[in-house]
């Protein structure tokens, strides 16, 4: 009898800047499992530069914590502004 192979899906985070219309943009964080977006959060509509900076702050925060924090835990605990 052969043992079934365990398959685990990769859970990752994606960070982007999203247009809100009327010249407003927001930082957005996506929780992705395999190739499916499971959940998303977006910040408030603001100027493009502020939205880019907010997205960069989210990425830097995850990069600094990724060794100790799983993506899904970071997603659950981060505040998107």
All residue ranges of the chain with pLDDT < 50 are none
41 Cβ neighbours under 8 A, 6+ residues apart: 28, 29, 75, 78, 80
| pLDDT for the residue numbered 16 | 93
| pLDDT for the residue numbered 52 | 94
| pLDDT for the residue numbered 65 | 80
Judge contact between 16 and 50, C-beta under 8 A.
no
30 Cβ neighbours under 8 A, 6+ residues apart: 13, 14, 15, 16, 37, 39, 40
Judge contact between 33 and 19, C-beta under 8 A.
no
Bridging pattern class, strands 36-42 and 24-33: antiparallel
Predicted TM-score of the model (pTM) = 0.78
Structure tokens at 64: 């600094």
Q: 15-35 pLDDT, tens per residue? A: 999 999 889 999 999 999 999
| pLDDT for the residue numbered 63 | 87
């Amino acid at each position: 009898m052969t043992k079934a192979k365990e398959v685990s899906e990769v859970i990752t985070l994606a960070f982007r800047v999203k247009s809100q219309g009327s010249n407003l943009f927001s930082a957005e964080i996506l929780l992705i499992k395999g190739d499916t977006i499971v959940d998303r959060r977006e910040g408030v509509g603001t100027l493009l530069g502020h939205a880019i900076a907010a997205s960069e702050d989210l990425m830097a925060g995850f990069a600094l914590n990724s060794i100790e924090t799983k993506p899904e835990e970071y997603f659950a605990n981060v505040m998107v502004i």
